[in-house]
Structure formats: structure tokens, C-alpha cells
Amino acid sequence: MNKWDIYLQEAKTQAEFAKRSYAAFQDAEKANSVVEVFFHLHHFLVHATNIDRILDTKPGSERHTILDGHLDLSGVDLKPFRLLRNHLEHFDERLDRWVRDFEGHAFFDMNIITGAKGFPEKAFLRALDGDTFKFHGESYNMTELYSTVVEIDRRLTTAFS
């Protein structure tokens, strides 16, 4: 086994876990199980960003040298979702900020709000609006992230061929 195989295999494992978490999220959404929706979305995001952390290396690093030339990641980018993962991983700090900035307005936390209109972005601590995960005034398209994970998984499969 080559050293680069170890990294690519772990990225492949994380892609499989991400796809399983996304499927479980979709099942929970169909079952209207709100807590399960957010539980599985969180795990999907963790696994998706683990792929990025494994494969997006710093030039000149040992891992970059090992992986260089073994996987083409041109045109794919998971970085926009790192911020959301960081929000979820450091939820205590985000909650402190939320409480500090709270002005008594209506707010949504762990709600499916698809179709709700007229609420300011600051009203969403954690909410799902269709395919969009809203967190503390920011929006993230989950379908886009899932498509990126599937594409990276396809490229990883090709790299092992």
C-alpha cells in the first residue's frame, strides 16, 4: 500500500459516511422528525468537511507532497461549508453571541421553516428552509454540498481504478 492510498481511503470513508448521513437526513425529513433532521445534517457536515480537511493540503506540507498528483480536485470546493461546520463545532461560542445580541425578537431554533416569509435573517439560530440550512443569519445550500461530496467520491473511486 502506498502512503497516498491511506489518505485517499480515509477520504473515501468520510465520503461514504457523509452520503449515509445525508440519506438519513432525507429520511428524517420525510418522516417529519425535526430533531433527527438536525442530528443527521450535523453529522453530514462533519464528514463532508473532514474530506476537505484531509484532501485540501497546504503546499509544501508532507501530506501535500504525498498526495500531489494522485487526485484531481479541480473545480470542487468544500470550503464554504467549513464555516458552518465551525459554527456547529463551536456552538457554545455562537450561542453566547446569539444571547448577547438577542433583542427579544422571534427566533427559530431547530425548525423546518420552508415557505416562511417576512422574518429577518437574525431570527434563525438553526433552521431548514427547503434545501437551505440557515445558521445565525447565514445560509448554506445542502444540495450543493451533497453534490460536491458525490463528485469527490466519484473522483476518489476513479483514483483507485
Q: For the chain, what percent of residues have pLDDT higher than 90?
A: 59
Range of the domain at 7: 3-160
pLDDT in tens, 146-161: 999 999 999 999 988 7
- Through-space distance between the first and last CA atoms of the chain, rounded to whole angstroms: 14
Task: Please give the pLDDT value at position 60.
Answer: 93
Q: What CA–CA distances, in Å, run from 80 to 43, 64, 136, 145?
A: 17, 21, 15, 9
pTM of this structure:
0.89
CB half-sphere exposure, 77, CA atoms < 13 A? 4
Task: Please give the pLDDT value at position 44.
Answer: 95
pLDDT in tens, 3-31: 999 999 999 999 999 999 999 999 999 99
> Rg of the Cα trace of the chain?
18
How many domains are contained in the chain?
A: 1
